[in-house]
């Protein structure tokens, strides 16, 4: 999200409301928070001054303890790989790509390991005719030991919504089948979910059908606007973050359930770090923690460890 007045600017109201976080959080019941060992722990402050509007976060599978981060609109088409100490280990430039509004990033099962998917899906004015996901295989730091910058030629997957344009800031890839899902951003506590069915087709602009509509439980407005999402490596948990905290869906029967069925369960409230403009969330590579980061210069990388136990019954 950008608050400045620009073609991609968004209403500043949600950001202004974050100044009231302590008051708003006091009115939110904690009885339905999911099982995590809170409060969130501050791992590190990102040292790289080029990361000013972190809008997406994904845990690398090939480089343990590292995370892919990208800026919001206004930056070049590039992805940063940072570690748990806040150090940028690599900058990945996406060749042949013009970034319009990168809003989220996801890990997808690839032909030989895992792929990184940068989702250019922001559309604050709801008028873009096409959107895109840029996909490339994970890089291996061990093979780039003497480099701090590299370039990749991603595969471009273009799509549009079958009904009408919409703004979105959340994108995930289901690890069980490779389907991609876009979560639209709305101010009414709802989100339309669109599926990019696997195998993805780079030869044409695909028309995405809406597969379901979710509505977050009642609460204050900043706690009902989805700004990012991720799915656990085993596909059993799905987290969506909002300006205040977030929500998590869980199913122990994912092997026999679709993602839309997972979203049919009642979500549990997540107690995330209080951030000025939180727009990024991801599960750790092992699925035993959630990590978040905010926009702003030198943001802090937070981690919320999970309390691992027997799976809960779906509700």
Return per-residue pLDDT of the chain as tens, 315 residues: 443 334 444 544 444 444 444 444 444 444 344 589 889 999 999 999 999 999 999 999 999 999 999 999 889 999 999 999 999 999 999 999 999 999 999 999 999 899 999 999 999 999 999 999 999 999 999 999 888 999 999 999 999 999 999 999 999 999 999 999 999 999 999 999 999 999 999 999 999 999 999 999 999 999 999 999 999 999 999 999 999 999 999 988 887 789 999 999 999 999 999 998 899 999 999 999 999 999 989 999 999 998 865 444 433
Which residue in 130, 133, 185 sits closest to 161, CA to CA?
Answer: 130
Which residue in 287, 295, 247, 297 sits closest to 271, CA to CA?
Answer: 247
What is the pLDDT, as a whole number, of residue 63? 97
**What is the spatial order of strands in the sheet that 66-71 belongs to?**
54-59, 66-71, 78-83, 88-94, 149-152
What is the pLDDT, as a whole number, of residue 24? 46
What is the pLDDT, as a whole number, of residue 16? 45
Which residue in 28, 22, 14, 58 sits closest to 269, CA to CA?
Answer: 28
The architecture that CATH gives domain 19-305 is 6 Propeller (2.120)
- Cα separation, 256 vs 29, in Å, equals 32
């Amino acid at each position: 999200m950008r608050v400045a007045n620009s073609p991609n600017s968004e209403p500043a109201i949600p950001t202004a409301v974050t100044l009231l976080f302590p008051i708003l959080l006091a009115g939110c019941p904690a009885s339905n928070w999911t099982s995590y060992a809170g409060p969130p722990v501050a791992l590190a402050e990102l040292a790289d001054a080029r990361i000013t509007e972190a809008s997406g976060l994904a845990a690398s599978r090939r480089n343990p303890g590292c995370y892919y981060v990208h800026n919001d609109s206004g930056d070049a088409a590039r992805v940063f790989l940072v570690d748990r100490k806040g150090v940028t280990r690599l900058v990945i430039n996406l060749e042949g790509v013009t970034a319009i509004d990168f809003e989220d990033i996801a890990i997808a099962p690839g032909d030989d390991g895992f792929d990184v998917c940068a989702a250019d899906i922001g559309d604050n004015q709801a008028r873009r005719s096409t959107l895109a996901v840029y996909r490339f295989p994970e890089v291996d730091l061990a093979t780039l030991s003497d480099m701090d910058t590299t370039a990749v030629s991603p595969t471009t997957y273009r799509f549009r919504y079958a009904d009408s344009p919409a703004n979105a800031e959340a994108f995930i890839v289901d690890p069980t089948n490779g389907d991609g899902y876009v979560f639209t951003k709305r101010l009414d506590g709802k989100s339309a979910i669109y599926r990019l069915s696997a195998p993805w087709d780079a030869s044409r602009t695909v028309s995405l059908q809406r597969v379901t509509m979710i509505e977050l439980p009642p609460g204050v407005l900043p706690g009902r606007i989805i700004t990012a999402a991720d799915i656990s490596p085993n596909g059993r948990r799905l987290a969506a973050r909002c300006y205040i905290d977030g929500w998590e869906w869980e199913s122990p029967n994912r092997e026999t359930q679709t993602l839309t069925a997972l979203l049919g369960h009642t979500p549990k409230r997540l107690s995330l770090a209080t951030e000025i403009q939180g727009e990024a969330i991801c599960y750790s590579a092992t699925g035993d923690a959630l990590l978040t980061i905010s926009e702003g210069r030198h943001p802090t990388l937070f981690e919320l460890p999970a309390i691992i136990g027997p799976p809960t019954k779906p509700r």
